[in-house]
Structure formats: structure tokens, C-alpha cells
Amino acid sequence: MQLLKITSSLSTLLLIIFYIIFSKRNKDKKFWVIFLYCLCSLILDILIHLSKFQPYKFFLYSFFTLIEYTSFSYFLLLTYKEKSYKWLLILCTILFYMVMLYSIVHEPNGEFDNLTSSIAGLLVIIFCILFFYEQLQDTKTNFIYSSKSFWIVSGCLIYTSTTLFLFVSVGLFKLSNNQEESVWMLNNFINIIKNILFGIAFYKLPPTLVDSLSDKSKDSLTGSAKAFNQYL
Amino acid sequence: MLSLTIGLIVFIIFHQRKVIRYQLTLQKMEEAQQNILLNASIRYQEEERQRLAADLHDDAGPLLATARLYLNENLVTLERATQLQHIKAAKSIIDDAIHLIRNISHSLMPPTLKNFGLESAVNDLLHKIGGAGTISTSCRFHDYHNRIKTDTEQIVFRIIQELINNILKHSNSTFIHVTQNTNTDKFFIRIHHDGNGLTQPDFDTLTKSSGGLGLKNISSRLKVLFGKILFEKDLSQTYYKITIELPKEEENILMEKVAM
């Protein structure tokens, strides 16, 4: 359990180092957001372990839920091309912030902010699926996994979909210490998977530098059309 | 939940690959078709050049050679009467040569098209064909108040010329009637004839086959203009109709709106 916790924190640290090494490939603003999220995640891990911050666990988790949701949703906002999706995201974000504020004000003594975490998880899952739907509708001929955004969104989706029911169960059921430990163990494991997927995104070259399958056929089509016009 | 999510992502990846492969296959087919049309255009151009070379070599060449022969004779013959006769003969042959070269030039680029527009050029063409007496021709342009672009006029004229040549060669028709009209955003030219015509499936088959050079050329020219062609038999089953549909030029749409 401890090993998994340390590995999870180390994976976040490695991810930050990875981003710094490959910073030239990740100049886009949306990857900065993910980098800042990873930084906050590492800081939270450190703070939670320090005993003097133990009484403030609820506020730390709530704050981190806010950071996590804001980072993922801002990343998706920058990635979406459809204006209607952007507006939907902004609207849902405003509603989420209102719920969050209510939760903090009315339940300050809770151990874990399961309500806001669950809502945040559900919203991120919906927005991630919307992203994939938008990608499928797009008629460009690059493979979906050649884009860096795909890996980030896959990481977000896998992380939030796995932790959604974990956070719901922590809040709804009275779990024993062993059960709670298993929940956090799973959370740490999924965190490592998420960091691996983020790492792949940071490592990948931007899609314009990768050979698109259709480039060669597009060139020959253009060449044929030009020769054709000349002969006419 | 994790396995469901992974399953969803894998499904999306495979679905998109399938769609991309299908799009690439379509692109390759379009490319192949464009190459066929391009080759057909090149062959057509070469054949026209050969015909032109043959016309000049077989007709104009001997005429001018004969004229030179007469003039050469004049250098040798001293009798004035004979000299005058030879000069007259040479002049007549040179007139024939000029007439022939003018006809060749007009068939390449009719001056009526450049100076007076598509309507006059088509009228002129049909008038010449009808003049022979074997086939009745007529032409009616209903909405051609503003000329289309010169390049477009040339291409449309070539298409009409090719279609009419095909009708004369293959259909044994007794009349050809050409009409033109427009609607809000389309320009139509219709050719009606009562001979043995093509239907749209015949045209599609011939365009894709190794033959049908002229039809491939028509298809290529229409692609340049973003136009369409439809071959059909009229509902009364008495004649065939060929409809050429072109998008109207924006300038002409604007001019019509201002006129209204």
C-alpha cells in the first residue's frame, strides 16, 4: 500500500520532469494546464502526508477536486472546435462551482468531498466522450491516436471513470479501514496509469510532423489537376 | 468501469481507422478516374493536332505548291496572254488556300465566339450544319442577356460542338434543337435530337471504358466548370435530350439582382 502510494507520487514527479525535458513539443497552452495540474497533484500528495495539514484534509481534497476539474475542463475547452460544446462546458462548470461552494459551506466537517468529486467525475466523463464524438465527426485523415490531445483525454477518462464509483462508495457507505485502504490503493494505481498516458502525450510529436496517410495521395491529386488544366 | 472505458477507447480507435481506410480508398478511386480523364484529354489534343497537321499538309500544302508552280512558269513564259492566265490561276488557287486556312482557323477558334459570344457562335455552328440541307437545326437562348466569362464560353462551346459532332456521326437524326435558360443559380443548355441517343447509364459506362474519348473529354471539361450533364430520353419517347447544368457565375447573379 505504501509502495503504491510512493510510486504514484513518484510517477507524478517523473511526469513533471518529462514535461520539462520535452517542453519544446508541448508549447501549446492546453499542455501547460495539464502540467500545472500535475504540479498541484504532487504538492497535494506532499501536504496530505504532512501531519500538520491532516485537520485540513477536507479542504485540501475539495480544493484539489476544484483544481482537477478546472484543469481537465479548461483543457477540453481549449481542445473543442464546436462552439456549442464549449458553451455547454462553461455552463456546466458554472453550475459545478455553485454546487462546490454549497458543499464547502454546508459540510465543512466531512472527511472527503464525495459529492463534488462524483459530480466532477461525471462531468469530465461526459466531456471526454463529447471530445471523442467530435473527433469521429471530423473528416481529417489523421489517426485519432496521432494527436496528443487523445492521450490526455484518454488518461482523464480512464482516471475519472475508475475513481467515480470509488468516491461515491467512500461517501455513501461506512467502509472499514481496510476497505478504505483498498479504495485508495486503486486510486493510486489508476493515478499511475493516468500519468503514463499523460507522459505519452508529452512525448509524442505534434501531428503536423507525423506523416499523414493522405499527404501523398493529396499531392498526386493536386499534380494531376494542375497538369489537366494546362492541357485543357 | 475501467474495462468499459478501455473498451470504448479501443472501439473509437478501430472505428476511426476503418473510416480513414474507406476515405483513402475513395480518394484513390477519384485519383484513378482523374488520371483516366487526363490521359483522355491528352490523347484528344494529340488527335486534334494530327488532324490539323493532316488538313494543312494534304489540302493547303498542295494548293500553295500548285500556285508556286504557276508563278514559276511565268518566269519562263514570255507571252503576255499566257502570263496573265497563269497569274489568274495562281490567284484563284491562293484564294482557295486562304479560304481553307480560314476554315481551319475558324474550326480551331471561331471568331464569332470571341467577338459576339456563345449564342452567336452556337447559332453560327447550327446554321452551317443546317445549310447542308440533310438535317434541320434551330437554336433559342432564352436568358442569355449577360455573357458568361470568355474561358467558360469557350469550354461550353467545345462541349456543345463535341455533342453535336457525336449526334451527326452516330445518331442519324433529322433535327437538332439547342436551347438555353437559367434559374436563380444555375445555367442550363439543352440539346434535343430525334436520332439514336445515349442515356445516362450508357454515358457512365462509356466514360469509364477505354473508348469514348470525346465523351471523356466532355466529362473533363465539365469537371473544370463544376458542371453536370444528363443524357435522357424524353417522356414522350420521341426524342433524346442532353442537359448541361452549370453553376451561375456570381457576377451574373449580382447583375441580375441589380437589374431587378
- Predicted confidence (pLDDT) at residue B116 exceeds the cutoff of 80: yes
Q: Considering only residues 161 to 220 of chain A, which have any Cβ-Cβ distance to chain B shorter than 8 Å? A: 161-162, 164-165, 190, 213-214, 217-218, 220
State the cell numbers at B193: 435530337
The Cα–Cα gap between B255 and B40 comes to 37
* Res A128: pLDDT: 93
Indicate the DSSP class of residue B176: E
Contact indicator for A17, A42 with CB cutoff of 8 Å = no
Nearest chain A Cα to B1, which residue?
A162
B108, B143, B167 - which closes a domain: B108
Indicate the DSSP class of residue A22: T
- Predicted confidence (pLDDT) at residue B255 exceeds the cutoff of 50: yes
State pLDDT tens for residues A198-226. Answer: 999 988 877 654 444 444 444 444 444 44
The Cα–Cα gap between B196 and A221 comes to 37
Stretch A121-131: mean pLDDT: 92
State pLDDT tens for residues A128-172. Answer: 999 999 988 876 657 888 888 899 999 999 999 988 887 777 666
User: Please, what is the Cα angle at A115 between A113 and A117, to 5 degrees?
Assistant: 65
Q: Select the residue from A224, A226, A230 to test the B interface by mutation, using most B Cβ atoms within 10 A.
A: A224
Residues B181 and B132 in one domain: yes
DSSP state string for A84-138: HHHHHHHHHHHHHHHHHHHHHHH-TT-SS-HHHHHHHHHHHHHHHHHHHHHHHH-
**pTM of the predicted structure, to 2 decimals:** 0.59
Residues B87 and B129 in one domain: no
Q: Which residue did the predictor score with more confidence, A219 or B123?
A: B123
| Chain B residues with CB-CB distance to A158 below 8 A | 2, 5-6, 9
| CB contact (8 A) between residue A224 and residue B41 | no
Residues B92 and B212 in one domain: no
Distances, alpha carbon A62 to alpha carbons A91, A112, A180, B204, in Å: 20, 8, 18, 67
B108, B131, B161 - which closes a domain: B108
Number of neighbouring beta carbons within 10 Å of residue B200? 13
ipTM: 0.70
Please list, in sequence order, all residues whose beta carbon lies within 8 angstroms of the beta carbon of residue B192, skipping any fewer than 6 positions away. Answer: B175, B176, B177, B178, B179, B234, B239, B240, B241
Residue range(s) defining the domain that contains residue B115: 111-259
* Res A228: pLDDT: 47
Contact indicator for A129, B9 with CB cutoff of 8 Å = no
State pLDDT tens for residues A26-70. Answer: 888 888 899 999 999 888 888 877 766 666 776 777 788 888 999
CA A162 to chain centre: 13
- Which residue, chain included where needed, has cell 451561375? B248
pLDDT grade for B252, boundaries at 50, 70 and 90: low
Residues B99 and B128 in one domain: no
| CB contact (8 A) between residue B37 and residue A164 | no
Ramachandran area for residue A67 (φ above 0: left; ψ -120 to 50: alpha; else beta):
alpha
* Res A118: pLDDT: 84
Residues B165 and B80 in one domain: no
State pLDDT tens for residues A67-100. Answer: 899 999 999 999 998 899 999 999 999 999 888 8
| CB contact (8 A) between residue A228 and residue B221 | no
pLDDT grade for A196, boundaries at 50, 70 and 90: very high
Contact indicator for B189, B248 with CB cutoff of 8 Å = no
The Cα–Cα gap between A143 and B18 comes to 10
Residues B22 and B139 in one domain: no
Residues B59 and B40 in one domain: yes
- State the total domains in chain B: 2
Residues B66 and B119 in one domain: no
Q: Considering only residues 202 to 231 of chain B, which have any Cβ-Cβ distance to chain A shorter than 8 Å? A: 220-221, 224
pLDDT grade for B192, boundaries at 50, 70 and 90: very high
* Res B205: pLDDT: 84
* Res B103: pLDDT: 80
| Chain B residues with CB-CB distance to A228 below 8 A | 34, 37-38, 41, 220, 224
The Cα–Cα gap between B128 and A169 comes to 92
| CB contact (8 A) between residue B221 and residue A232 | yes
Indicate the DSSP class of residue B56: I
B108, B139, B173 - which closes a domain: B108
| Domain boundaries, given as residue ranges, for chain A | 2-210
Nearest to B147 by CA among B119, B108, B110, B180: B119
Nearest to A149 by CA among A46, A28, A230, A47: A28
| Chain B residues with CB-CB distance to A220 below 8 A | 31
Residues B131 and B50 in one domain: no
Stretch B94-107: mean pLDDT: 83
Pairing of strands B175-182, B136-141: parallel
- Among B12, B23, B24, select the one facing A132 at the smallest CB separation: B12
State pLDDT tens for residues B35-79. Answer: 888 888 788 788 888 888 888 888 888 888 888 888 887 777 678
